[in-house]
Each structure stands twice: as C-alpha cells, then as structure tokens.
C-alpha cells in the first residue's frame, strides 16, 4: 500500500515574471562609424563626430559622423554616378534580384538587427523582433517583385525613375522607415542618399554593411549621418531629383518652403493626432486591446498613434474602467527584457516635450490617471498615462504629444464622432470599432484620414498604402501607390 503523502495546496500565487533579457552579444558594435558613400565607409570630410546613446541606460554606444556640406555633396555625386552608369540602366529583373537578396539577408540577421534597434532607440525587443524586423524584410520582398513589373502598376504609365532620391527618416522606426524609403525608390530604378535620425543612426549603418554584402553596386545606396543641418543640406542639394521626408510637421513645412520653385519632387509623411472611435456595440475587450496598442505601442512614438479616444457616452465609464485595469498589466522597463511592453522614451528632448504637454493637460483641467509603476533610475521613461474629461480645445487634444499619453473624450452620435474626429489640421489615420458593417463603411467614407482601421489598429503591410490628408503630409508609401512618388511623368 503506497504512502499517501500529503502536500499542502499552494496559496494564491502573486506571480512575478523573472527578467528574461535578450543578450546583446549578437551585435558587433564599432566604437566609431564612417559614412557609407559609394560602397565604402569613409571618414567625414567635416572631421566631426557625435555620440549616440542607449536611451534606457544613457550609456554611449558609439560615435557616428556628422556629415557636412562636402560630405553630402560627395554622397549625392556618388548616387548620381551610380544612377547614370549602373542602376538606372540595369534591367528591372536584375534590380529585383538585389532586393530579394537584401530581403533574405535581413531575415537571416533579424535578431541581431532587432537587438541593435532596441539598444539605439529604446523600443521593446519584442516589438523590434516581432514587428519592425519582419516588416523590414517584407518591404524589400514586396518591392523587389515590382522592379520588373512597373509597366503593370499603372495603365498608360511608361515607367522611368527620377534619378537621385534624398531621403530623411525619423527615429521612431529607424530600420523600418529605411525600408519604406529605400525599397520603392530602388525598385523603381532610383539611387538614394539617406539620412537616419540623429538619435538612431546605427541600424542604417549596419544595413549598409548588409547591402554591401548583397553585392549592391557602389553608390546605389548611400547612408550619411547627422542632424538637422545635414538633412537640410541634403534636401537642398541641386543634384537631388526627389526628396522624401518623414518627421514632424514643422520640419516638413520648412522643407516644403525650401523646395519651392526647385522643381524637385517631394513627399512628406508628417504628424498625426488620430481619432480612435469606439461605438457601444464594439467587441469591448478587443477594442481595449486596440486602444492600448494604438497609444502605447512603441511608447506612443507613432505618427498614426490613436491619441484621441472617442468613446460613445453610453459605455464611457465601463470602457474607461477596463482601460485603467488594463494599464496595470503593462510592463514598463528594460527594453531588452523580452517581457517589456513599454520601453524607453527615445531622448531627453522628447521626454521634456511629453512632460510639458502632460503638465499642460493637468493645468487645463483634464483628469490624469497613471498606474503604479516603478521606473528604472537611469534612462528616459514615462508612465503610460490617461486623461479623462478632455475638451477639444485642450492642448492635449490638439497637439501631437508623441508619447504614451491618451486623451479621452466622449460622443453621442456617429455624426458627432465624425465632426470631432475631423476637427484637426492633421489627417493621417483613424480607428473605428463597431459590430455594424455598414457603419464601418460609412465612417470610413466620412473620416478625413489616409488610413482607417476598423476593428483593429496599427496594422501595416508593404502592400497597403500609408500616408496622410491635410497637414499629415502627402504621398503614399506601400502598395502600388507607393511607386508613384519614385517614377516620372505623373506631374506631382
């Protein structure tokens, strides 16, 4: 007869997840980088460098060049030569194969690039690994297939590239933005000079190495690092035929005025203050996830973030309760921990901007809610924040915060929701949650936004065009439409 060992049943478990840190050993960081011009890394003629730090720890990662006017010129000249002599006349099917190769190589080195992206920018490794990097590979793969099919893209179009594209990208999705810019430009037959943001230069430089390994001819892609002045010199350079900029609306306006009369083609992808509309018949728990993703994904450093929440009044309190409860399960902290949901704020400057606007929100009379949160001592952090009792005129309802801060308002009827949603100079994206199909389609028609997400949010695909109305910019990236800005003859 076996012994009946009695062991007590455990008490309710307050389950804390042990840290699960992704190792950084996979990344081979240099101490100092060069500019990638004409197929090689070169020291800047400006002789100037600046540091890039890890915003989660404030540790310096490396030094990168600050490209001056002469460096910019060198890069543009290289791109021009590559266009005139190599790339511009290469058959589409060969261009395609370079891009397919790059896509495959990105897939192979995904983990390394994701870790690097997290270290340089502060986003959670889970997001870099599961969202950013797969989309980078996907963009190259998608546009590779267009390179030799351009004549099918638009009826009557005789596809011709523009020449040299100058591209300036932001710090929120560094490598993904690089892919969004490079892939269509190269597929269409252009060559490129690209400037990554000053706080996140590293993944672009590692990408340059990868492109070189892929055998991409020298000068086809050139990466120059620097800040505002470098970007300014690039877009103004007379050798650049086409400018593409993603960043803040204020800089976008500056570029627009700089380019006036120059004859250069231009596309702009600027800021947003998206309305996220929840009807009473929405699938509520999934809508909560959509709202959370909409504003806290990437710490809210997202141009299409759902930063203005409009909840139908009949479910407002219940919905806000659920939201507050959900906030308590968000894990804020070390971006390299695989369990982190909300990472570091990208820079001290951005943190100051967010802080200022949140203070303004409180002063203007909105009610703030922040869950209990232990933040690391070093680095730049902001607790996920909700504001209720917000009015349309409050700064937190008008200005783009670009941080993990949600402004909540209510509405009674669909017409009211539409009126409030459209009452903004921006028009990048919007979200709608409802059971009713006809209402989704009606709302989609009425909303002045370039991307409408219904019963979902923050979905991206290389085949799906993305871009804004009004002051959120013009031109589309992704899909068939994403080729237009890089081809001649459309008069834009």
Partner 1 sequence: MALPATAERTSLLPGRINTATLGSYLRSVSTVDEVGVNERVAALSTRSIKKDSKLAALELAVSMMDLTTLEGKDTPGKIAQMCSKAMRPDPVDPSVPSVAAVCIYPAMVPHAIEAVRGSRVKVASVATYFPSGQVDTKLKIEETRRVVELGVDEVDMVIDRGAFLSGQYFKVFDEIRKVKEVCGGAVKLKVILETGELGSLDDVRRTSMLAMSAGADTIKTSTGKVQPAATLPVTLVMLEAIRDFYSATGVQVGMKPAGGIRTSKEAIRFLVVLNETLGSGWMTPDWFRFGASTLLNDVLMQIRWLKTGRYQSADYFTKD
Partner 2 sequence: MTRLDVRKTYKLYINGEFPRSESGRSYPALDSHGGVVARVALASRKDLRDAVRAARMAVPLWAGKTGYNRGQILYRIAEMVEDRIETFADQLTLGGLTIARARSEVIRTIDRLVWYAGWCDKFSQVYGNLNPVAGPFFNISAPEPTGVVGVVAPAEPALLGLVSRLAPALAGGNTLVILASEPEPLPAITLAEVLETADVPGGVINILTGSPVELVPWLADHMDVNGLDATGAAEELRIRIDQGSVHNIKRVVAVDDPDTQSPFLIAAFTEVKTVWHPKGL
Residues that bind partner 2 (CB under 8 A): 93, 96-97, 100, 138, 141-142, 144-149, 152-153, 414, 437-439, 441-442, 444-445, 462-463, 479-480
One symbol per residue from 362 to 401: x for binding partner 1 (CB under 8 A), - otherwise; what is it?
----------------------------------------
Pick from 314, 378, 435, 463 the residue near partner 1 by CB under 8 A: 435
Q: Which of 52, 7, 22, 260 is nearest to 126 (CA)?
A: 22
**CA distance linking residue 485 with residue 467, whole number of Å:** 12
Cα–Cα distance for residue pair 79/247, rounded to 1 Å: 23
Q: How far is the CB of 98 from partner 2 (least distance, A)?
A: 12
Q: To which H or E segment does residue 92 belong? A: helix 92-108
Q: In angstroms, give the least distance from the CB of 145 to partner 2.
A: 2
- Minimum Å distance from CB 489 to partner 2? 19
Phi, psi of 348 (to 5 degrees): -60, -40
Residues 116, 119, 122: CA angle, nearest 5 degrees: 125
Q: Is 126 in the site for partner 1 (CB under 8 A)?
A: yes
Identify what 438 binds: partner 2, partner 1, none; CB under 5 to 8 Å per kind.
Answer: partner 2
| Residue of 108, 152, 286, 453 that binds partner 1 (CB under 8 A) | 286
461 binds partner 1 (CB under 8 A): no
Q: Which of 308, 311, 306 is nearest to 295 (CA)?
A: 306
Residue 13 burial (C-beta neighbours within 10 Å; 0-12, 13-18, 19+): exposed
* CA pair distance 468, 114, nearest whole angstrom: 28
User: Which of partner 1, partner 2, none does residue 257 bind (CB under 5 to 8 Å by kind)?
Assistant: none
Q: Is 3 in the site for partner 1 (CB under 8 A)?
A: yes
257 binds partner 1 (CB under 8 A): no
97 or 322, CB closer to partner 1?
A: 322
Nearest CA to 201 among 67, 74, 104, 80?
67
Q: Tell me if 464 contacts partner 1 by CB under 8 A.
A: no
Name the segment binding partner 1 (CB under 8 A); options: 190-198, 211-219, 319-327, 440-448. Answer: 319-327
Q: Where is 129: in which H helix or E strand?
A: none
Specify the long-range contacts of residues 44-47, CB closer than 8 Å, at least 24 apart: 44/68, 44/71, 45/70, 45/71, 45/74, 46/70, 46/71
Q: Return the active site residues.
A: 269, 303
Q: 3-class SS at 259?
A: coil
Closest to 453 in 3D by CA, of 323, 293, 341, 325? 293
Nearest approach, Cβ of residue 146 and partner 2 (Å): 7
Q: Is residue 89 near partner 1 by the rule CB under 8 A?
A: no
Q: Which does 441 bind (CB under 5 to 8 A by kind): partner 1, partner 2, none?
A: partner 2
Closest distance to partner 1 from the beta carbon of 311 (Å) = 14
Q: Is 14 among the residues that bind partner 1 (CB under 8 A)?
A: yes
321 binds, among partner 2, partner 1, none (CB under 5 to 8 A by kind): partner 1
Neighbours of 31 (CB within 10 A): 8
Which helix (H) or strand (E) element contains residue 401? none
- Residue 281 lies near partner 1 (rule: CB under 8 A): yes
Residues that bind partner 1 (CB under 8 A): 2-20, 126, 130, 281-287, 289-290, 321, 324-325, 329, 338-339, 435, 455-456
């Amino acid at each position: 007869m076996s012994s009946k060992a009695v062991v007590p049943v455990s008490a309710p478990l307050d389950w804390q997840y042990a840290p699960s840190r992704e190792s950084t050993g996979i990344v081979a960081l240099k101490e100092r980088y060069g500019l990638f011009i004409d197929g090689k890394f070169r020291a800047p003629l400006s002789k100037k460098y600046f540091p890039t730090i890890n915003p989660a720890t404030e540790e310096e990662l490396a030094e990168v060049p600050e490209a001056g006017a002469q460096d910019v010129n060198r890069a543009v000249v290289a791109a021009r030569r590559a266009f005139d002599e190599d790339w511009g006349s290469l058959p589409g099917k060969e261009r395609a194969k370079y891009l397919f190769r790059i896509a495959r190589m990105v897939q192979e080195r995904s983990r390394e690039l994701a870790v690097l992206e997290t270290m340089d920018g502060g986003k959670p490794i889970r997001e870099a690994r599961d969202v950013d990097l797969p989309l980078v590979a996907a963009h190259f793969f998608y546009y590779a297939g267009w390179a030799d099919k351009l004549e099918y893209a638009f009826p009557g179009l005789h596809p011709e590239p523009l020449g040299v594209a100058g591209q300036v990208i932001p710090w929120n999705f560094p490598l993904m933005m690089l892919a969004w810019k490079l892939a269509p430009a190269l597929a269409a037959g252009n060559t490129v000079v690209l400037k990554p943001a000053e706080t996140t230069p590293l993944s672009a430089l590692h990408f340059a190495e990868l492109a070189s390994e892929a055998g991409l001819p020298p000068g086809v892609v050139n990466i120059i690092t620097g800040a505002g002045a470098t970007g300014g010199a690039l877009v103004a350079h007379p050798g650049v035929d086409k400018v593409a900029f993603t960043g803040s609306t204020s800089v976008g306006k500056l570029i627009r005025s700089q380019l006036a009369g120059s004859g250069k083609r231009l596309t702009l992808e600027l800021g947003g203050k998206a309305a996220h509309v929840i009807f009473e018949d929405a699938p509520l728990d999934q809508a909560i996830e959509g709202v959370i993703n909409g504003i806290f994904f990437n710490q809210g450093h997202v141009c299409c973030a759902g930063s203005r929440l409009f909840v139908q009044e009949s479910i407002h309190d219940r919905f806000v309760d659920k939201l507050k409860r959900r906030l308590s399960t968000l894990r804020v902290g070390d971006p390299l921990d695989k369990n982190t949901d909300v990472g570091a704020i990208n820079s001290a400057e951005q943190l100051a901007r967010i802080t200022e606007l949140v203070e303004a929100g409180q002063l203007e009379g909105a009610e703030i809610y922040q869950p209990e949160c232990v933040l690391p001592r070093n680095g730049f952090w902001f607790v996920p924040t909700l504001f209720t009792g917000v009015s349309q005129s409050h700064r937190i309802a008008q200005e783009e915060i670009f941080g993990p801060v949600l402004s909540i308002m209510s509405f009674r009827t669909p017409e009211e929701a539409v009126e409030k949603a459209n009452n903004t100079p921006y028009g990048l994206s919007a979200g709608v949650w409802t059971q009713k199909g006809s209402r989704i389609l009606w709302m989609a028609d009425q909303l002045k936004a370039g991307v409408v997400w219904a019963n979902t949010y923050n979905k991206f695909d290389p085949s799906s065009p993305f871009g804004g109305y009004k002051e959120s910019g013009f031109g589309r990236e992704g899909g068939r439409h994403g080729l237009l800005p890089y081809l001649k003859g459309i008069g834009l």
